[in-house]
Copies of this chain bind each other. A is one copy, B any other.
Amino acid sequence: MIKLATIGTSWITEQFIEACIAEGSYQLSKVYSRTLDKAQAVVDKYKQGKAVDDLADLYQDDVDIIYIASPNALHYGHAIEALKHEKHVIVEKPQFANLNEWQDAHDLAREKDLYLFEAIRHIQNRNYKLLKSLLAQKLVELDQPFLGAALNIGQYSSKYDAYVDAIEHQGNLPNIFNLEFATGTLMDIGVYPIYVAVDLFGMPDQVDYQPVKGPNGVDLMGTIIFTYDTFQVTIFISKAVHSTKPSEIYIGDETIVIPYISEMDRIDVVTRQNVCVQSYQYPELQPMYDEAKYFADILQGAETDYAYQDLEKLSQQVTRVMQDLREVADIEFIKRSH
């Protein structure tokens, strides 16, 4: 069994714990929170593990891997400490705030022969993996130029109302719309379509990001364009508005339609006459099940090290692209003074 510790107690940590329990290879060993009661509540819920409020407790022998879902700006510090203490690490997306942090942490992991995963669940999803091989096949068979894709994620966050209110009344900004926390639309959900674009089509020749910014400079909505030699991927993202649009890949006389790109719960192939001719709808047992299983397979040797290296390379590429996009869009994170 893989002895698991967690940092962070929001819904996403619970979702990961549930996926690990369902998957069967993991055993919850420690749940950390700065507030012991919060950690205890999680332990009570799953009747596994021990609640702790001291990070040092995670570096004991009864922990193999530490799952980090703290606020983005704390990922780097938490990951470095865990690696220094010889623990494998899983960091929620986006793994690190910039390429320097990414390189530092991954250098350390390599030096210590430890795994450092980015938790980006849709990439391990079974529907998505089927889409990948389908697309590869279609691209080979295609007798017309490939023109590209238009990806879309517009998920209104309930924190946006709090943000508007905070701006108006000079209150505290919610973490998710705060440059001191290395957040914003691109970081928080833009990472999903970007992962897909880089994974399917490789690194673009040129990137562009034109965001609508809020009064504090954070990106609320925006348009990303990846330019490749002969095709284009355009990406609409927002955490402040609700969009019903699917993502689409245009491939000859068919269009691959992905209703929810962060979930990959369904993938359809439709003709130009709007007839659905193919559909993948394998449900995951838990939203993060396929991801938890893939990490376990790598940790336990059921997948080769190449699988890990592929994940690592992709994570690095995405981190690089996201940094380039912020530079183009003039989005600068603020060093926290407190």
Contact = CB atoms under 8 A, between A and B. Distances in A.
Given A164-B144, A272-B156, A232 B212 contact: yes
A236 B243 CA distance: 15
A240 B251 CA distance: 10
Contacts of A222: 232
Contacts of A232: 210-212, 221-223
Contacts of A240: 147, 250
Contact of A241 (B147, B211, B225, B274): B147
Contacts of A156: 253, 272
Contacts of A246: 244-245
A152 B150 CA distance: 10
Q: How many copies does the complex hold?
A: 2
Interface of A is mostly: strand
A257 B244 contact: yes
A208 interface: yes
A17 B132 CA distance: 49
A243 B150 contact: yes
A34 to B, nearest CB: 32
A145 B236 CA distance: 19
A270 interface: yes
Interface in A8-53: none
A238 interface: yes
A212 B274 contact: no
Interface string A138-177: 0000001101101010101000010010000000000000
A262 interface: no
A225 B144 CA distance: 27
B210 A227 contact: yes
A223 B221 contact: no
A337 interface: no
Given A147-B212, A147-B221, A243 B248 contact: yes
A211 B225 CA distance: 10
Contacts of A238: 147, 250
Contacts of A221: 147-148, 232, 250
A234 interface: yes
Nearest to A233: B223
Given A164-B144, A232-B221, A234-B223, A244 B150 contact: no
Given A241-B255, A245-B245, 19 more contacts: A147-B220, A147-B240, A148-B212, A148-B221, A150-B236, A150-B243, A154-B248, A154-B250, A210-B225, A210-B227, A210-B234, A211-B232, A212-B232, A221-B232, A221-B250, A240-B250, A243-B255, A244-B270, A244-B274
23 contacts: A144-B164, A145-B164, A147-B212, A147-B220, A147-B221, A147-B238, A152-B245, A154-B248, A154-B250, A210-B225, A210-B232, A212-B231, A222-B232, A223-B225, A223-B234, A238-B250, A241-B250, A241-B255, A242-B250, A242-B253, A242-B270, A243-B248, A245-B248
